[in-house]
Structures are given as structure tokens and as C-alpha cells.
């Protein structure tokens, strides 16, 4: 290896991984390539795009989500025919938060469309932690339930960590259990579930033919459910990942080095055009409610109108990673049911 | 917060965290500061050190290790007096690898010096996986054992992952269980154990009064037991972390941005002086055997003679993180015994 010249070897691997991306089954955990260090090697000059004169490609999450969901619906159908059973998802909702109710409704509708059976457990805002623990334990033991989601956030008197830890890792379709997160972090291991939003980010990149291996990726944000697992997942795909957060000095200096920029900040339009490297691929994970003349609208973390002039590809908000995220939940639930029922489609 | 000016707020937090570092109990998981995004803010000009004319400070791991070990010995003594029991560490050695035998011997000696009871389980090279699993299960159930180490690497016919997963997370003093790794990765959570080498790196930085918060840190390498958890731990301390690996293009461009550089590569002397930013702090986690006139000697990943002219502080190899790593194993075992025996020193 070391005699071959690092760049030739990289190029060969890069082609190999690229061709696999076009296959129907996308490698969400990244190609399993050996870690071979080789120095010195010639510099690779990266082509500088003249994208500032162009308008970026808009990566349309809706159409990707449609295609994924129709595939899932087919698989669910085949499962029903072969086993007489459907994948089952349980949603646990504590209290009456409007936003949580909306999220649960959206998930129920998506499940219904692909034939996943659902079960909703509603508990009052003032329910005791033990009561919630008992509900989760019961669902853990229910063989018709293949996935359990406890809608977050929980009321303040309930210890969220304790609840999430009790969900069986085999039914943790949100991928928030530390055992699944640990297995995602550790190269060579396979988590049972990858959190839906990060999985959606990678799915979007792969389906948009964005090469990840060897690229500089910068993730702004390190939340447990989005930023952190997205960094881990990009690294599994052999990107060189930097994580920017609230304690980072001069974040825009770092983001300007990114071939792939992922934003998970929670502040509308904070990522300006001058934060981007020309030709970068920008994935906006933000979903911020902002007031407008007609009430509220959802906007991302990236200043879309500026980004589109600098980047080579951008996700819109809404209509970017959001719809794919729900599809990833369906996909995780299907995967779980397949494992439980020992059902394979091949 | 957002009106105060990001830099003033940062400076205040930075001072607070600095003062806590000088306390005897070092915050190995980083100060628990809220994630407050605030833009825009004035640029902070970083003082450029004129270190190229100086010789770097050598961070002496041996003396730090001595001080930690004497503290542990005192605590073990107090535990014995109060409870009549000592911390117990079980070491499992499969086969007759010379290097593994040496590592086990070093650990036994260190335990002996601080009063930790040890137990060695030796199995033949050709032992079956089930046999090893039974040994680990027995140790899991033994109340006199507070820590279990299965010396790696295992023979090829044994599934390492399966064995490590069976070690009780409560006795996983190596910190390699995915549950502990997941809890290390997830901000706000507390792993029961942090892997010893990364913990040693942070301990060395804190005890050398190197500020981590807000600094650019670059970790070269992403191994499950060193590079990856070191990145996670530096991020817990609010550094802006980039991870460089075999698929990174032009790694030296990225390392030259590092205020703190950690090398976990496994290639002797690969990190040259021109890979470093003047004034950087360099932690060399490499332990490579190289031939010399008298047989073999241990050398790091960093070209020490060059680094010392550019950096502001460097660890030697041997005598850097190595001795502290063993101390961290002792510290993890003591912590485990404290939890099991409900013993507190205060």
C-alpha cells in the first residue's frame, strides 16, 4: 500500500465506494475500509468550483422520501403476505404539548401510509415517572411492538435519561439508547438503529451522489439526537469531521473549509453565505418557527437565499431532511420487525 | 446572554473553569456549561507564540503519575480501614503473547503498589469462546472483583466484540463497553468509566494547566480505544475537535490549525515539526517499537526533536501519557470499588 502512492489508492477506493452508492441498498454505515496510513504522498489539488456565479442544486427531500416510502410499503406488504404480521410502532405521549401532538400525528400518518401498525399510549402531564417506566416495560415485552418512541421533551419532573435507558435497545427505533449510540461511535461495530435525522442526512447525501469519503465535513451543533450522531455517521463514511459548537471561536473560519456543511444550531438563518466555501454541499437540519404575516412558518439555520449563490447543493427547509427523517423512522421500524420475525426480503 | 457579548461571557466562563482545574479533583468530564449560541460577536485575536525560537515545555507524565498513584494509595488505605475491603481487579489473559504478558505484569505491579487486590485468569491460546465467556460471567458475579480487564488482542478465533459486550458495564474499568462509550459521547450523560488512555490525555492537559475550552483540537487517529474516545472527551471539555484519519487529504494542513494536537497513529515519528502550529500543545499517544543498536526501543508518533522546537509543550515517549494511563486504570478500579461498597472519602 505505502509504495503504491496514497492518492492512487484513494482514487481507486473512491470509485469503488461511489459505484456502491448507486445500488438500491445504500451503505448507511459507510464502506468498511481498512485504516491504512501512508505518508508522504503528493498533494491533491481540489478543483475550485466557480459556483458563486451559479445557483446551487436544490436537494429535494420530498421526492427522496416518496421513493423510500414506496419501497418500505412494498416490503411491509411482502412481510404481511409471508408472516401474517406487520411491523408495529408504539408512540408514547406525555402531556398535551401542541408541538409533540403534531409530531406524533405526522408519524402516525406516515406509518399508516406504508402499512405499519401503530399504538399510542397517552399519559397525563402530571403522571409519575414510575407510571411511564411501567408503560415502557410493558411495550418492551409486547411482541407485536417492534419500535418504541417516547415523544420528547418530557415534563420536567421526569428523568428523560432514565426513561430512554429503559427502552429495549432492540426496539429503540429513535436510536437514542446509549448502547446504540456507543455502537455507532465505535468503528467496526453495528448499532441496531441509527438516529433518524442523522440517517436522513447521510441518505440525502448518498442519494444526491455527494461523495463523502475523504471530504472535509463540518457539523455545527453537537446535540445528542442530531449533531453528535451526524458527526459520528459522517466519520463512519470516512469524512474528515470537525464539530463546531457554542464554544468555538470564529466558527465561520472553520465552516469555510467544509466540502460538506451540516447545520444543527436552532437559530434561524444564522449560517450566512460568507460562512460557506464555494461549491460546498449544505445540509440544513434546522427547523425553527418564525413569525410571519400569516402566523408562523418553519425556517432553517441556513440563510437559504445567500447559500444558494455560493454552494453547489443545498437542502430547503421545509422539504429537505425533514421528510426523509420520518421515512428513516419507518425504515428503522421495518428493520426491527424483520429482525424480530426473522424475515428477509431476499 | 446574547446582549452581553460572546467574548466577555466566554472569558468569564474560561476563568471559572480554569480555577476549577487547580482543585485536587479534576473535572475529567469537562465543565457542565450550557450551550448558548450567540452571533455575531467580535473576533478574538489569538496571541501567536514565538515558540519557534524556544524549546517546548516537556510534560512529564512520570511525575504526574506518581502524584496520582500516591493519592490512590491513600484512598485505598482509608477504604480498607473503613470497610475492611480493598478494590479488586481481575485480569484475563488468553494465550502467551509476550507483549500481552508484559502489559499484564505492569498492571499487576501498579495495583500491588497502591494496595489493589489482583486476580489473574490465564486461558490457553486455543480456548473456546464459551470458556472465556464463562470466566467473564463468573467475574461479573464475584463481589470481590470491582474491575475486569480482558487483555487485548484476543486470538483470532474469538469474537472480541462479543467478549467485551459481556463484561458488566459496572466493572468495565477499561471503558470499552459500548454502553460506557455511548454515555461518553452523549453530552450531559456520565459514563461509569472513561477509557484509560484518553482519560490520561485529559488529566495530563489539566494538570499541565493547558486550557481546553474553546481551543482547536485535532486528534490524528480514531481507534476505538484511543483516538475516538479522546475526540469525544476533548469535545466534552468544549474544545472544537477535528478528527484526522487515513482517509484525510492533506492532514498536515488541518494539524497546523491545532492549538492542541493529539497523535494516535501507530507510525513512528510521522508527525513532523512542519505539521504543528507554533505554540501548539502536543500529546503523543503513540507507542511504537523500533529497532536500534541495543535491540528495541519505544518511540512515539511525533518527531520529538522537531516538535520541541515548534510546540509550546510536548509529551515525551516513553514517560508521557503512558505512566498516567496505568494510573487511570487504578483510578477507575478504585471508583468502581467505591460505588460497589458505597464508600466515599469525604
pLDDT tens profile B306-326: 999 999 999 999 999 999 999
Q: Residue A161: closest CA among chain B residues belongs to which residue? A: B189
Q: Is the pLDDT of residue A49 over 60?
A: no
Q: What angle do CA A264, B229, B267 make, to 5 degrees?
A: 115
Looking at residue A53, its pLDDT comes to: 54
CATH number where B178 lies: 3.40.50.10860
Question: What is the average pLDDT across B183-200?
Answer: 96
Report pLDDT for B27: 82
Provide the 10 A C-beta neighbour count for residue A136: 21
Report the alpha-carbon distance of residue B81 to residue B204 in Å, rounded: 31
> Per the CB < 8 Å rule, is B247 touching A180?
no
A295, β-bridge pairs: A292
CB A187, CB B182: distance < 8 Å: no
**Coil, helix or strand for B320?**
coil
Pick the closest to residue B187 from B243, B238, B236, B237 (CA basis): B236
Does the pLDDT of residue A121 top 50, yes or no?
A: yes
| Degrees, nearest 5: CA angle B165-B167-B171 | 135
> What's the rounded mean pLDDT across residues B173-190?
97
Q: Which residues of B touch A224 (CB under 8 A)?
A: 186-189
Domain presence at residue A159: yes
SS3 (DSSP) at A67 = helix
pLDDT of residue B346: 58
Report how far residue B262's alpha carbon sits from residue B198's, in angstroms, rounded to the nearest whole number: 10
More confident residue, A188 or A121: A121
pLDDT of residue A292: 87
Residue A166 lies in a domain: yes
CA dist B228 → A57, B114, B265 (Å): 34, 29, 12
Cα–Cα distances (Å) from B40 to A270, B12, B154, in that order, read 9, 18, 52
Residues 6 or more apart whose CB falls under 8 angstroms from that of A19 comprise none
pLDDT by residue (tens digit) across A221-274?
Answer: 999 999 999 999 999 999 999 999 999 999 999 999 999 999 999 999 999 999
| Residue B17 belongs to a domain | no
User: Among partner residues A36, A177, A242, which is closest to B246 by beta-carbon distance?
Assistant: A36
**Best interface-test mutation with B: which of A12, A16, A214, A240 has the largest number of B CBs within 10 A?**
A240
**Residue at B71 is within a domain:** no
A101 annotated active-site:
no
pLDDT of residue A40: 54
CB contact under 8 A, A235 and B222: yes
Q: Which helix (H) or strand (E) holds A210?
A: none
Residue B125: left if φ>0, alpha if ψ -120 to 50, beta else—which one? alpha
Residues B167 and B131 in one domain: yes
CA–CA gap between residue B317 and residue A332 (Å, rounded): 46
DSSP structure string for A141-192: H-TT--EEEEPSSPPTTS-HHHHHHHS-GGG-TT--SHHHHHHHHSTT---S
What's the DSSP call for residue B102?
A: H
Neighbours of A11 (CB within 10 A): 13
Residue A188 domain flag: no
Exposure string for B193-208, b = 16+ CB within 10 A, e = fewer = bbbbbbbbbbbbbbbb
Residues B171 and B217 in one domain: no
In chain B, which residues have their Cβ closer than 8 Å to the Cβ of A247?
A: 10, 33, 213-214, 238-240
Greater confidence (B54 vs A5) lies with B54
| Grid cell at residue B209 | 494547566
Is A200 found in the same domain as A318?
A: yes
Assess if residue A317 is contained within a domain. yes
Residue A341 Cα, gap to closest chain B Cα (Å): 23
- Same domain for B248 and B289? yes
B52 has a pLDDT exceeding 60: no
Q: Which three cell numbers stand for residue B148?
A: 475486569
Spot the catalytic one: A172, A174, A264, A284: A174
pLDDT at B8 over 50: no
Contact by Cβ (8 Å): A203, A197: no
d(CA A287, CA A322): 8
Least confident of A20-24, A134-138, A320-324, B71-75: A20-24
Give the residue from B186, B231, B255, B263 with the most A CB atoms within 10 Å of its CB, the best one to mutate. B186
Closest CA to B304 of B261, B259, B268: B268
Asked whether the beta carbons of B275 and B255 are under 8 A apart, the reply is yes
Same domain, B202 and B248: yes
The Cα–Cα gap between B37 and B43 comes to 15
Q: Are residues A155 and A96 in the same domain?
A: yes
- Residues A172, A223, single domain; the answer is no
Q: Is the pLDDT of residue A39 over 70?
A: no
- Report how far residue B64's alpha carbon sits from residue B209's, in angstroms, rounded to the nearest whole number: 12
Least confident of A172-176, B4-8, B9-13, B263-267: B4-8
Biggest alpha carbon distance in chain B? Answer: 67
CA distance B134 to B138: 6
Place of cell 502489559: B103
Q: Are residue B166 and residue B220 in the same domain, yes or no?
A: no
pLDDT at B18 over 90: no
pLDDT at A204 over 60: yes
Domain boundary among A177, A205, A236: A177
- B124, part of any domain: yes
Catalytic, A253? Answer: no
Q: What residues of chain A lie within 8 A of the CB of B33, using their CB?
A: 247
Q: Which residue of A has its CA nearest to B177?
A: A182
**Can you list the alpha helix ranges (DSSP code H) found in B115-190?**
129-141, 160-166, 178-185
Pair B217, B313 in one domain:
yes
Residue A37: which pLDDT band, with cuts at 50, 70 and 90?
Answer: confident
CB burial class (10 A; 0-12, 13-18, 19+) of residue A189? middle
Distance of CA B288 to the CA centre of its chain: 17
Domains identified in chain B, total number: 2
Q: How far apart are CA B85 and CA B79, in angstroms?
A: 7
The separation between the first and the last C-alpha atoms of chain B, rounded to the nearest angstrom, is 36
Report the range of poorest mean pLDDT among A117-126, A337-346, B242-251.
A337-346
pLDDT at B50: 47
**Predicted confidence (pLDDT) at residue B53 exceeds the cutoff of 90:** no
Asked, for residue B161, whether it belongs to a domain, the answer is: yes
* Predicted pLDDT at B26: 77
CB pairs under 8 A between A and B: 139
Positions of B annotated as catalytic residues are: 107, 151, 174
Q: What percent of chain B has pLDDT over 90?
A: 81
pLDDT at residue number A54: 63
Looking at per-residue confidence, does A4 or A316 come out higher?
A: A316
Q: What is the pLDDT of residues B37-47, one digit of tens each?
A: 776 544 333 34
Alpha helices in A84-154 (DSSP H): 98-114, 129-141
* Interface test mutation site (partner B, options A178, A272, A302, max chain B beta carbons within 10 A): A178
CA distance A261 to chain B (A): 14
Q: Are residues A166 and A234 in the same domain?
A: no
* Range list of β-strands (E), chain A: 57-58, 88-94, 117-123, 147-150, 216-220, 240-244, 260-263, 281-284, 288-292, 295-299, 313-314
Which residue range is the domain that position B267 belongs to? 194-322
Q: Does B292 lie in the same domain as B234? A: yes
Rounded to an integer, the average pLDDT of A201-210 is 96
Taking residues A124-150, report their average pLDDT.
Answer: 98
Per-residue confidence (pLDDT) for residue B43, from 0 to 100: 36
User: Which residue does chain A place closest to B165, by CA atoms?
Assistant: A179
What residues are paired with B298 via a beta bridge?
B289
| CATH number for position B306 | 3.40.50.720
Cβ–Cβ contacts within 10 Å for residue A315, how many? 32
Which residue from B320, B291, B317 is spatially nearest to B305, judged by alpha carbons? B317
Average pLDDT, chain A: 89
Q: What is the pLDDT of residue A90?
A: 98
* Position B19 confidence tier, pLDDT thresholds 50, 70, 90: very low
Last residue of a domain, one of B191, B209, B226: B191
Last residue of a domain, one of A122, A144, A177: A177
On whether both A173 and A259 belong to a single domain, the answer is no
Amino acid at each position: 500500500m505505502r509504495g503504491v502512492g496514497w492518492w492512487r489508492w484513494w482514487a481507486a477506493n473512491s470509485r469503488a465506494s461511489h459505484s456502491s452508492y448507486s445500488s438500491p441498498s445504500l451503505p448507511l454505515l459507510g464502506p468498511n475500509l481498512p485504516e491504512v496510513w501512508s505518508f508522504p504522498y503528493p498533494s491533491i489539488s481540489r478543483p475550485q468550483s466557480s459556483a458563486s456565479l451559479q445557483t446551487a442544486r436544490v436537494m429535494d427531500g420530498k421526492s427522496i422520501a416518496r421513493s423510500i416510502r414506496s419501497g418500505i410499503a412494498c416490503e411491509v406488504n411482502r412481510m404481511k403476505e409471508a408472516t401474517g404480521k406487520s411491523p408495529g410502532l408504539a408512540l408514547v405521549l406525555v402531556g398535551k404539548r401542541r408541538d409533540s401532538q403534531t409530531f406524533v400525528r405526522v408519524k402516525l400518518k406516515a406509518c399508516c401510509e406504508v402499512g405499519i401498525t401503530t399504538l399510542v399510549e397517552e399519559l397525563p402531564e402530571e403522571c409519575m415517572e414510575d407510571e411511564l417506566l411501567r408503560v415502557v416495560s410493558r411495550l418492551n415485552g409486547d411482541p407485536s411492538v417492534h419500535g418504541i418512541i417516547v415523544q420528547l421533551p418530557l415534563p420536567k419532573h421526569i428523568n428523560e435519561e432514565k426513561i430512554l435507558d429503559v427502552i429495549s435497545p432492540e426496539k429503540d427505533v429513535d436510536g437514542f439508547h446509549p448502547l446504540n449510540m456507543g455502537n455507532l461511535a465505535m468503528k467496526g461495530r453495528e448499532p441496531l438503529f441509527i438516529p433518524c435525522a442523522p440517517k436522513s442526512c447521510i441518505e440525502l447525501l448518498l442519494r444526491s451522489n455527494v461523495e463523502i469519503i475523504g471530504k472535509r465535513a463540518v457539523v455545527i451543533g453537537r446535540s445528542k439526537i442530531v449533531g453528535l450522531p451526524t458527526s459520528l455517521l459522517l466519520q463512519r463514511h470516512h469524512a474528515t469531521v470537525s464539530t463546531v459548537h457554542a464554544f468555538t471561536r470564529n466558527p465561520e473560519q472553520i465552516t469555510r473549509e467544509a466540502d460538506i456543511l451540516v447545520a444543527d444550531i436552532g437559530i434561524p438563518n444564522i449560517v450566512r453565505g460568507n460562512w460557506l466555501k464555494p461549491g460546498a454541499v449544505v445540509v440544513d437540519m434546522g427547523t425553527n418557527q418564525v413569525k410571519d404575516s400569516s402566523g408562523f412558518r418553519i425556517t432553517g439555520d441556513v440563510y437559504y437565499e445567500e447559500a444558494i449563490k455560493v454552494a453547489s447543493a443545498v437542502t430547503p427547509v421545509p422539504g429537505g431532511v425533514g421528510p426523509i427523517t420520518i421515512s428513516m423512522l419507518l425504515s428503522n421500524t421495518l428493520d426491527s420487525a424483520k429482525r424480530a420475525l426473522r424475515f428477509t426480503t431476499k
